[in-house]
Amino acid sequence: QEVLATLSVPERIEKTLLLLKKELELSKLQSQISKQVEDKISANQRRYMLLEQLKQIKKELGLERDDKEALIAKFSDRITHLAVPAEAKKVIEEEMDKIQTLESSSSEFNVTRNYLDWLTSLPWGIYSEENLQLRRAARVLAAEHFGLEDVKERILEFIAVGALRGSTQGKIICFVGPPG
């Protein structure tokens, strides 16, 4: 606007020249920034490419297994040493198939991994012998737990009923929350 308002041609040319110099500097600066960004992106892409090639070479040579493969091998190894029921084994195998298709960076991958870790860490087929000695239980409760007389009485009642029946099979005592 200022250039057009100037009547003198030499002044108009001088103002135009100043504007062009500013635009040229701005253009050079933008070009320089773009080049720096491009160089950084190019360096990152090169690094990523080299890392992926290194992973593939190690995998081909058998020096390193894929993280997913190592996880699946770990879970498979765990379930081979346990007496897992058929239904649970089916679920574990489905989850292992699912984890193979997921990206290791996704949140569902972590959820599935934690679920598989929990499933394969359970003591499948390992049982402890029931100890239904009422006097010993009363001594242990009195020695190791102060107060909570109602709870202690309920535990002793549970053990006494189990001793009379010969088993506590199918019974669970819930110590948290409202009764029932």
Rounded distance between C-alpha atoms, residue 96 and residue 162, angstroms: 39
- Residue 39 pLDDT exceeds 70: yes
Q: How far apart are CA 25 and CA 86, in angstroms?
A: 74
Please report the pLDDT score of residue 35 as a whole number. 92
> Mind giving me the DSSP string for 27-76?
HHHHHHHHHHHHHHHHHHHHHHHHHHHHHHHHHHHTS---HHHHHHHHHH
Residue with more model confidence, 136 or 175: 136
Q: What per-residue confidence (pLDDT) applies to 80?
A: 83
pLDDT confidence band for 26 (50 / 70 / 90): very high
pLDDT above 90 covers a percentage of the chain that reads 11
pLDDT of 165 reads 77
Q: Could you tell me which residue, 65 or 104, shows the higher pLDDT?
A: 104
Q: Is the pLDDT of residue 180 over 60?
A: no
In this predicted structure, what is the pLDDT of residue 31?
A: 93
Q: 31-35, 143-147, 176-180: which range is least confident on average?
A: 176-180
Burial 42-62 (b: 16+ CB within 10 A, else e): eeeeeeeeeeeeeeeeeeeee
What is the pTM (predicted TM-score) of this model?
A: 0.46
The pLDDT score that the predictor gives to residue 57 is: 84
